[in-house]
Amino acid sequence: MTNDRNGRRVAATLAIAYAALVLLLGAVSAITLLTVQDPILLSGVALMVVTFPLGPLIWWGWDVVPPPLDDPVLLVGLLTGAGLLQAYVLWRFLRRPR
């Protein structure tokens, strides 16, 4: 019983740490896009790398989005959402009984 609680605690800790990293990178990227005139988005690239494997799929699929919806803040929001989805899947995967 104790081992199961420790496993759930570790799963929650890892998932929360991953989600916090994704939210931090997403917030920094969105703030940079909204405030800087010509942003160099290293945080956006870092967000794409951290959200692997969904991040690169969204990043490379962004070319097919029609021009009226081609907003970089929307891209950051999608990448952040993908990262939060991955944090949830990570939590569900790690907390299952062995």
pLDDT in tens, 33-86: 999 888 877 888 899 999 999 999 998 998 888 888 888 899 999 999 999 999
More reliable by pLDDT, 7 or 23 = 23
How does residue 1 score in pLDDT terms, banded at 50, 70 and 90? low
More reliable by pLDDT, 6 or 29 = 29
Q: CB-based contacts of 19: which residues, under 8 Å, 6+ apart?
A: 83, 84, 87
In this prediction the pTM is: 0.88
Domain that holds residue 26: 2-95
The total domain count for the chain is 1
Count of C-beta atoms within a 10 Å radius of residue 18: 19
Q: Give first-to-last CA distance, the chain, whole Å.
A: 12
